[in-house]
Amino acid sequence: MTHDVWVEVDLAALKHNFAQVKNVVGNGVKITAVVKSNGFGHGYVEPAKAFIEAGADMLAVTRLDEAIILREAGIESPTLLFAPIQPENAEIAVNADLEMTISTIELAHTISDAAQRLGKTAQVHVKIDTGMGRLGVSIDDAHQLIQHVHQLPSLEIAGVYTHFATTSEQDASSSKLQLERFTQLLTDLRRSDIDYGLAHCANSAAIIRMPDSHMDMVRPGTILYGQYPSTHVPHTLDLKSTWKLKARICEVKELKSGSPVGYGGEFVTRRITKTAIVPIGYADGFTLAPEGPIYRQSALKFAVRKVRKRLFLDINGRKAPVIGRIAMQMTVIDITNFAHIRVGDEVTVPAMRIPTSALVPRVYVG
């Protein structure tokens, strides 16, 4: 079937970006490829397979349902769940051989009990809150928790980790303080002869900005998909674009001068205007943003910036302006200055990757 709207994913570019990370961290550091949130909009399964082929030691997702998609696709690679599971799902996670995040004694006991019932040994990673203020056991209580978990049957600590709060910010000093706290904890654990498995804390920004944070394993996310976390992170890698949202023109027509376009008739043509209709809209993720800056700034600043920005679709490297309101699944563009535009011609649509609808087919190339 010819798709009206689709996301083109370049698997070769994903592997190339993984190799860039490998070049930075070297052979002595393991790499967990983060494929959460539908593989940052690229899909779960094919990108995960690509990263494994490229040499990923582990995969990571946030939620249990994401990991089950990988397992049902036959992907058996070690897979870490970032979010603590719901207690009633412990047996499902253990049976699927998933590595689970814990930060409380209660969840550790729940997983231990589930593993005993199934006759298996569960793998867990202890999450430490070193200053992010989100998930994790307090740095002050971490030693005691890890010591307690070691005493539980059918439970093995595969790793301990933390997450940085400011590695993408201009001032990353608080992340450096987090690293100091985490490093001191590891030192204390070794002095107590406690095996904590793999120590890991470096996200995409830290991989580039904080070499001391590489430790036993790193967790690249956004850089695998061809994007830097922010302008404050040195652009030192040769990252390749991995993702394009595309659509096909479904109708071409000419409007008289003075013709209203779209809902509300807010746009009115001032000349004879040749238009193309593209079956894509806000339900698909169009109008949210051309890349992914929204999560790196306040919502207010982002909204103001968006209001001032005119939207365009790309046709063979040329920009065609959007006219009228963007509807749920329809957009009108002005192609008056374009020659030989026909039904079926491809356009490239600027959009955020992660919020682009998972219902839009992903087509893999490379």
DSSP codes, 68-104: HHHHHTT--S-EEESSPPPGGGHHHHHHTT-EEEE-S
263 in active site: yes
H-helix segments, 161-316: 173-191, 204-209, 299-307
Query: Rounded to whole angstroms, what are the CA distances from 61 to 5, 33, 69, 84, 156?
Result: 26, 9, 11, 11, 20
- The gap from C-alpha 196 to its chain's centroid, in whole angstroms, comes to 27
Is 36 one of the annotated active-site residues of the chain?
Answer: yes
- Going by C-alpha positions, the residue among 227, 229, 142 that lies closest to residue 187 is 142
Q: Choose among 143, 188, 134: nearest CA to 163.
A: 134
* From 253, 263, 301, 319, active-site residue: 263
Question: Cα–Cα distance between 3 and 181 in angstroms, integer?
Answer: 51
For residues 116 and 111, give the distance between their C-alpha atoms in angstroms, rounded to a whole number: 9
d(CA 18, CA 253): 45
Kindly report the number of other CB atoms within 10 A of residue 335's CB atom: 22
Distance between CA atoms of residues 42 and 10, nearest Å: 9
Tell me the β-bridge partners of 243.
9
Name the active-site residue from 30, 36, 244, 246. 36
Query: Any idea what DSSP says for residue 289?
Result: -
Residues forming the active site: 36, 263
